[in-house]
Structure 1
Amino acid sequence: MRKAVFPGSFDPITLGHANVIERALPLFDELVIAIGINDAKKYRFSLEQRLEFIKETFKSETKISVETYSGLTTEFCKDIQADFILRGLRNPADFEFEKAIAITNRKLTGIDTVFLLTSADTSFISSSIVRDILKHGGDLTNFAPQAVINATKKD
């Protein structure tokens, strides 16, 4: 059974994240979307909100589960017996950054990282762009899943 972890802060999940997740599903038997907890980081959305956004977005997908973790991603992967780490790449800078982490993770635990390029129509989207659009009252339709849009309309 091929089990992968897609780690991130998902503050919030974007259409770019969703695109990578949907395209990864045929590659794995199980995909754990893992929300990392970093006490030093200031988040726009609570952990509970981020969990709910992801669960709502993928509620009909049986191969997906959503979990939270703190500490090293590789330790979390070992704890849940994951075989791979999934990462999305938007641009060459992402690759250079992620390559160093992937090599380190492989040396630490032997877990390989699988990279998927984001689709051209979502490659420019980041969580920080979504937060900025939200901050200024912009339309999130082309940037975030419906679960995020619905929740932010209530704000």
Structure 2
Amino acid sequence: MLSSESEETPVRRAVCPGSYDPITNGHLDIIGRASKLYDVVHVTVMINKSKQGVFTVDERIDLIRQVTAHYGNVEVEAFHGLLVDYCKQRDIPAIVKGLRAVSDFDYELQMAQMNNGLSGVETLFVPTNPTYSFLSSSLVKEVAAWGGDVSHLVPPQVLTALNERLSRK
């Protein structure tokens, strides 16, 4: 039997957290796959005041919005605090994390268990596309800083912004 019009279907929400300094094609692979599984994917730039990024938080948010706009169900914002608090405030029951290697799993499993113990939020681990298994924002920044070609590792908008930023240093 169909539900009455007054009953709403729950919206399936998940969050893809990270520093995204900058967002890479590996991040986009995970976000894109999550966007097929969930009605709304929150891409959240987690703020760590102790780290100095190449891009400001606002610049990261702008770049992420540009490169995820075509998904249609991605919301981008920043958050300072515990990820589980972000999830509670927005009624998000799931965290989506990409895993590049077994070494990622050890750390991420501990975080997933802690997050679940604190709030009941579940973590979905998505194996990274092998094309991006070595890729990290830190590696992209280091290679780009030395003049290496990272054009195949980041979206064109990010490459332009990264080259402009690094040329000023």
Shift of 1:154: 2.8
Distance 1:49 1:105 in 2: 28
**Which residue matches 2:17?**
7
Moved over 6 A (4+): none
User: Over alpha carbons, which structure has the higher Rg?
Assistant: 2
Write the letter of the residue equivalent to 1:91.
A
Shift of 1:10: 0.5
Give the aligned CA root-mean-square deviation in angstroms: 1.0
User: TM-score normalised to the size of structure 1?
Assistant: 0.96
Write the letter of the residue equivalent to 1:134.
A
Count residues in correspondence. Answer: 155
- Is residue 144–residue 163 contact of structure 2 (8 Å, CA) maintained in 1? no
- Is residue 32–residue 71 contact of structure 2 (8 Å, CA) maintained in 1? no
For 1:75, which of 85, 97, 101 is the aligned residue?
A: 85
Moved more, 44-53 or 8-17: 44-53
Distance 1:39 1:154 in 2: 24
**Which residue matches 1:25?**
35
**Which residue matches 1:53?**
63
In structure 1, stretches of 5+ residues that fail to align are none
In structure 2, stretches of 5+ residues that fail to align are 1-10
**Which residue matches 2:99?**
89
Distance 1:154 1:93 in 2: 33
Shift of 1:153: 3.3
Write the letter of the residue equivalent to 2:160.
N
Distance 1:54 1:123 in 2: 20
Correspondence list, 1:97-136, <5 A: 97-136=107-146
Write the letter of the residue equivalent to 1:146.
P
Shift of 1:133: 1.3
Report 1 or 2 for greater relative contact order, CA contacts < 8 Å, sequence distance ≥ 6.
1
The 1:43–1:154 alpha-carbon spacing in structure 2 relative to 1, beyond 3 Å, is: closer
